[in-house]
Amino acid sequence: MSALEYLSLGDPMFRADRFSAYRRLRDHNPVARVEPDGARVVVTRYADVERIFKDPLMRVQPKAGEFPADIGTGAGATFHKLSLPDLDPPTHTRLRKLASPAFAPRSLAHMRSWVERIIIDNVEALAAVDGDVDFVEHFGMRVPAEIACRLLHAPAVDAATVLRRMPALNRVLTHAPITPQERVEADAAAQFYFDYIGDIVDSMRGRLGPEDPVGALMLAEEEGGRLSRDELIVTLVGFFIASYHTTMTAMTSAVHALLTHPDQMRLLAADPDLAPAAWEEVLRWQSPVHFITRYAGYEFELHGETIAEGTQLMLGIASANRDERRFTDPDTFDIRRVGNRHLAFTAGGHYCIGAPLSRLEGDILLRLLPQRLPAMTLTDPNPPWTDDLVFRTMTELMVAPKGCGR
C-alpha cells in the first residue's frame, strides 16, 4: 500500500488476518489514512503509539471540552461525559486521583483472598468436568463476572442482568458514530446502571472502609463533595466494564496460548513463579484491545505525513505489541521474555487504572492452572473469533479439562 492509498478497516481480508495486515502497515504504511476522507489515521509502530499515548497534548476528546454531538443529551451522554477513558485534564486528573486508591496495594491486599477464592472454585468446577467443555462460557465469562460483581458488591446472581446491558452502553462510550436507535438503547442502559448501582451505593453507606474500592470512592463523594453522585456511579460502572472485558479476553487467551504451546505450559508447571511474566506475555501476544483512539492536539509530522490538529488517531495496540522494532521474535509466545513493556494497558496519563487487579488475577490463575489441570487439552484447534475491530475475542474455546481419551 502506498502512502496515497486509503486503508479500509471494514475490508474482510484486513480483519481475517489481523497480524499479517498489521505487519504490512508497520513496514510499508505506518501512518495509514482511513477511507473515505482520510480524517482518521491508523498508527501501528510501537514507538509512535507509545509516544502519542505519553504526549500530554494529545486528547481523548475531539476538541478540548467538546463531546460528539450524536451522543445526545440523555443518560448515555451523561455517562460518556463522566467516563474516565473519555475525559481530558483537568477533569480526568481529578477523577483519576480520587479513583486510584481503589487499586492501590492496600486495596489489592484486601481483595486477594476473595479473588483467589473465585478463581479456585471455578478451576475446581472445570476439573470436575468429564469430556469437552466451552472454556469461554464456563470460565472465561463466569469468573470476571463474579469478580466484577464482588468488586461492586452486586449479587452474583445479577451478573447476567448487568452484563446484558453493557453492549448497548458501550456504543455511546466509544468514538464511533451511533444511530438514533443505538442512542435510545444506550440511554436506557445508562439509566439502568444509574438506578442499579445507585441502589447499591445507598445500601452500602456507612458499611465500607477506605480499603474497599467502592468505600474509597464513597468517602470522596461524602467528604466535601469531591466526587458527585453521578461521577461516583459512572466510575464504578467503568470498573465493572473494564475488569470484565479485559479479564474475560485475557483468561481465554492465556488458556489458548498455553494449550497451543505445550512447551510453555511445561515451563510454567515446572516454575510457578513464571506466572506474572506469563500473564504479561499473554497481554502482549494477544492484546485484549486492538485499537484506542486519540485526537491530535496540534499539527505534527510522522513518517513524512502531516497530521493536522484534530485528526482522529487510531492507535494500534495489538500491532505495536508485535512490532519487531521493539520485541525480538514478536510473533513467538515466550513466557520467559524479558523487557516485556507491552502497551496492552496503554501508557501515559490514561494508563489502565485497573492493571494491578488484572495482574493479580493473572498471577493466581496461571499459578493454579498447570498444577490443577495439567492434562487439559484443546479439542477445537480453530476457535471462532469475533469480527470486532477493537474488541477481538474468542467466542468459544472447547477444551477437555481431563485430557482427550480420558
Geometric angle at alpha carbon 247, from 245 and 249, rounded to 5°: 65
Q: Is residue 119's pLDDT more than 70?
A: yes
pLDDT (tens digit, 9 = 90+) per residue, 170-201? Answer: 778 766 778 889 899 999 999 998 999 899 88
**Considering the domain boundaries, does residue 395 fall inside one?**
yes
Task: Give the lowest-confidence range in 40-54, 91-105, 274-288.
Answer: 91-105
Mean pLDDT of 393-404: 89
How crowded is residue 57: how many other Cβ atoms within 10 Å of its Cβ?
Answer: 10
Q: Is residue 132's pLDDT more than 50?
A: yes
**Considering the domain boundaries, does residue 6 fall inside one?**
no
DSSP characters for 330-368?
TTS--TT-SS----TT--GGG--TTHHHHHHHHHHHHHH
- Which helix (H) or strand (E) covers residue 199, if one does? helix 180-204
User: 138 and 145 in contact (C-beta within 8 Å)?
Assistant: no
Domain total in the chain: 1
> How far apart (Å, rounded) are the C-alpha atoms in residues 1 and 180?
36
**Considering the domain boundaries, does residue 405 fall inside one?**
no
> How far apart (Å, rounded) are the C-alpha atoms in residues 386 and 392?
5
Q: Is residue 150's pLDDT more than 50?
A: yes
Joined together, the cell numbers standing for residue 268 give: 510454567
Q: Is residue 3's pLDDT more than 60?
A: no
What CATH number does the domain containing 189 carry? 1.10.630.10
Helices and strands (H, E) in the chain, number of each type: 17, 9
Say what the pLDDT of residue 364 is: 96
> How far apart (Å, rounded) are the C-alpha atoms in residues 393 and 406?
29
Strands (E), 101-191: 133-134
Torsions phi, psi of 395, nearest 5? Answer: -90, -15
User: 183 and 76 in contact (C-beta within 8 Å)?
Assistant: yes
**Considering the domain boundaries, does residue 5 fall inside one?**
no
User: β-strands 40-43, 31-33: how paired?
Assistant: antiparallel
Residue 227: Cβ-neighbour burial (10 angstroms; 0-12, 13-18, 19+)? buried
Say what the pLDDT of residue 224 is: 66
Domain that holds residue 386: 12-400
Q: Which among 240-244, 267-271, 352-356 has the top mean pLDDT? A: 267-271
Say what the pLDDT of residue 247 is: 86
> How far apart (Å, rounded) are the C-alpha atoms in residues 386 and 117?
30
Say what the pLDDT of residue 38 is: 64
Grid cell 508485535 in the structure block, residue: 322
Residue of 294 and 216 predicted with greater confidence: 294
Average pLDDT, the chain: 88
Q: For the chain, what percent of residues have pLDDT higher than 90?
A: 48
**Considering the domain boundaries, does residue 389 fall inside one?**
yes
Mean pLDDT of 238-264: 88
Q: Is residue 228's pLDDT more than 90?
A: no
The residue among 168, 122, 169, 365 whose CA lies nearest residue 258 is 365
Mean pLDDT of 29-44: 84
**Considering the domain boundaries, does residue 344 fall inside one?**
yes
> How far apart (Å, rounded) are the C-alpha atoms in residues 253 and 211?
31
Give the max Cα distance, the chain: 63
> How far apart (Å, rounded) are the C-alpha atoms in residues 191 and 4?
45
Binning pLDDT at 50, 70 and 90, where does residue 405 land?
very low
DSSP code, position 375:
T
**Considering the domain boundaries, does residue 7 fall inside one?**
no
User: β-strands 312-316, 40-43: how paired?
Assistant: parallel
Binning pLDDT at 50, 70 and 90, where does residue 42 land?
very high
> How far apart (Å, rounded) are the C-alpha atoms in residues 79 and 173?
7
Q: For the chain, what percent of residues have pLDDT higher than 70?
A: 96
pLDDT (tens digit, 9 = 90+) per residue, 322-380? Answer: 999 999 999 999 999 999 999 999 999 999 888 999 999 999 999 999 999 999 999 98
> How far apart (Å, rounded) are the C-alpha atoms in residues 71 and 171?
9
Binning pLDDT at 50, 70 and 90, where does residue 37 land?
low
> How far apart (Å, rounded) are the C-alpha atoms in residues 206 and 194?
20
Q: Cis peptide leading into 374, omega within 30 of 0?
A: no
Torsions phi, psi of 279, nearest 5? Answer: -65, -45
pTM over 0.85: yes
Residue of 188 and 390 predicted with greater confidence: 188
Q: Is residue 2's pLDDT more than 60?
A: no
**Considering the domain boundaries, does residue 109 fall inside one?**
yes
Geometric angle at alpha carbon 322, from 313 and 141, rounded to 5°: 85
Say what the pLDDT of residue 406 is: 44
